[in-house]
Amino acid sequence: MSAQILDGLALSKETRARLKERVDALVARGVTPRLDVLVAAQDPASVKYVQMKRKWCAQVGIVGESYEITETTSQADLIGKIRELNADPHVHGILLQHPLPGHLDENMALMELGAEKDVDGITPQSLGRLVADLPGFRCATPLGIIRLLEHYGIETVGKRAVVIGRSIILGKPAALMLLQKNATVTIAHSRTQNLADICREADIVVAAVGRPEMVAGDWIKPGAVVVDAGYNRVEGRKGDVGDVAFESASQVAGWITPVPGGVGPMTVASLLSNCVEAAEATITNR
Amino acid sequence: MSAQILDGLALSKETRARLKERVDALVARGVTPRLDVLVAAQDPASVKYVQMKRKWCAQVGIVGESYEITETTSQADLIGKIRELNADPHVHGILLQHPLPGHLDENMALMELGAEKDVDGITPQSLGRLVADLPGFRCATPLGIIRLLEHYGIETVGKRAVVIGRSIILGKPAALMLLQKNATVTIAHSRTQNLADICREADIVVAAVGRPEMVAGDWIKPGAVVVDAGYNRVEGRKGDVGDVAFESASQVAGWITPVPGGVGPMTVASLLSNCVEAAEATITNR
């Protein structure tokens, strides 16, 4: 192993410690940051994920309510709840935990969610502000990736970045954020031909495909920065498996994120940081 | 010259003829498509550009008012006007002609403009819908480019596309639209290193930099599709000059857009087509 580790867990801890201080300062001024969550009660993964977010929120002092979305929740109920939370001055962030039950129109719901409370950065309004380089909340995972790169002083200007994957919450916003940091960005995906060759051109690789260990060591240019945003379940293996074959890639790369302990903790830290910013903005805008 | 011409003028004429029929059908049902324009009265280029758009609108039967924005227009006036037009059921499209006088906040104004009337596709809401693959109006110029490629049956799936330029109205949305059409997309820009080499990798090149004839013939892979979205003024030369060196590039390319007669007319056709769609939607949604 020659690569240096981009330690997301360590940076996340640092970030959360600083956030705790900012929350304390807010509380002293009478504002307790609050993140409310709408979550499909029947989806065990969602419920578990929300519990985990709650735990991290509690650690830095962010409070919040959860609202269960069930098979009997109507679209009007959902929209009504979002409007109520949009209007509630005590609520700073609103999280619509994906996926919702199939009878609900998630996109319509996201279009209702106010940009100033979209701490997950996934509404069309927030994504559009990202395209237009306007202030707004950025998606938690790509924001976490960018902060990790910045923390370790990774140069992006004029570098070739290849983002593998084009999801709305990861690949596309990651590409746009790397572009904003003056990288030359290529977005590759399931229809890309000669993916290994394209990957080998990259000074920075962001893998966000959801296929365990798809990115092999011989896809990596020596010295490249490898960011693994994958967390896959593989039968017979414990814990999450990334999109990158860590063993072989870490022999070649200059920098690499581990799974776990890389992008995952930075995602949560960025969500919390967006929440604290949203709460701080209510004071600034008073 | 070996390249075949992507004839934007011819396709634009065809498109406008079909739009005329759709407008006639709308008028028969009591709806006259209307595009209202807010334009900086002191900017001669803007005024000329708006006059040109008006002329094309009139040809297909789209009516509209123009409102002059001057040094004495306040931000509140501007926002008030946009809200008034948002609420007016007779207005189907609203165009905020860039640039506005410097004392006005154009971004704030764009955030007010309703997505269902943003026929130019440049508000954060519209750009975000593009990122999220949601229905909405797409930016006129990149939309015109995509329609031109579609018309000539240019394959995009799995092809390497290089977009040179990252503006909000051209480079970034063009990249997102090519991505949606399953190309592997690279976005290059002023900070890109080895631009010529990157360009040579491309099956499809979209030049949107605003530098006359920057893209040389030897930057083009033999047989590639070259789309020139540049229109530059060059002293001593008549008319607009593109971003691509047409003479040399057309020796190598498989397909190429001329300047003028390529992307320009398709931009206007797409704007008109968005206007007609906006008017049609008011009937569908009745």
Q: Which of A137-141, B3-7, B73-77, B237-241 has the lowest mean pLDDT?
A: B237-241
Where residue A284 falls among pLDDT bands split at 50, 70, 90? confident
Q: How far is B154 from chain A (nearest CA, A)?
A: 16
CATH class name, domain B139-263: alpha beta
Domain residue spans in chain A? 30-114, 139-263
Whether the CB-CB separation of B244 and B213 falls below 8 Å is answered with: yes
Distance CA B93, CA B113 (A): 10
Judged by average pLDDT, the poorest of A42-51, A130-139, B57-66 is: A42-51
Judged by CB atoms closer than 8 Å, whether chains meet at B125 and A125 is answered as: yes
**What is the number of other CB atoms lying within 10 angstroms of the CB of residue B191?**
16
Give the whole-angstrom CA distance, residue A278 versus residue A280.
5
Q: Is the pLDDT of residue B137 over 90?
A: yes
Running DSSP on this structure, what letter comes out for residue B259?
Answer: S
CA B235 to chain centre: 25
Per DSSP, the three-state class of B225 is strand
Instruction: Give burial (CB, 10 Å; 0-12/13-18/19+) of B102.
Output: exposed
Asked whether residue B284 carries a pLDDT value surpassing 90, the answer given is no
Hey, do B30-129 and B139-263 end up sharing a CATH topology, with the first three levels equal?
yes
Fold of B30-129: Rossmann fold (3.40.50)
Helix A124-131 and helix A171-180: axis angle, to 10°? Answer: 30
ipTM of this model?
0.96
**Residues of A forming the active site:** 53, 97, 120
B7, B36, B53, B228: the catalytic one is B53
Gap between the terminal Cα atoms of chain B:
53
Of B136, B158, B166, the CB nearest to A179: B166
B238-249: average pLDDT: 95
Task: Find the closest chain B residue to A107 by CA distance.
Answer: B134
Q: Chain A closest CA to B228's CA: distance in Å?
A: 20
Catalytic residue list contains B53: yes
> In this complex, do B182 and A189 lie within 8 Å of one another by their Cβ atoms?
yes
- Read off the pLDDT of residues B28-75 as tens digits, 9 standing for 90 and up: 999 999 999 999 988 888 889 899 999 999 999 999 999 999 999 999
B250 known ligand binder = no
> In the predicted model, what is the mean pLDDT of residues B109-121?
97
Residues of A in Cβ contact (< 8 Å) with B136: 124
d(CA B200, CA B179) in angstroms, rounded, equals 19
> A30-114: what fold?
Rossmann fold (3.40.50)
- pLDDT beyond 90 at B225: yes
Q: Which two tokens stand for residue B273?
A: 């087509």
* pLDDT higher than threshold 80 for residue B285: no
B chain contacts of residue A186, beta-carbon cutoff 8 Å: 184-187
Mean pLDDT, range A234-239, rounded to an integer? 91
Distances (CA, A) of B198 to A109, A198, B10, B156: 41, 11, 31, 18
* Residues B216-226, mean pLDDT to the nearest whole number: 98
Q: How far is B186 from chain A (nearest CA, A)?
A: 4
The answer to whether residues B208 and B164 touch, using CB atoms and an 8 Å cutoff, is yes
Q: Which residues contact B196 (CB under 8 A, 6 or more apart)?
A: B216, B218, B219
Average pLDDT, chain B: 96
B186 vs A125, A172, A185: nearest CB: A185
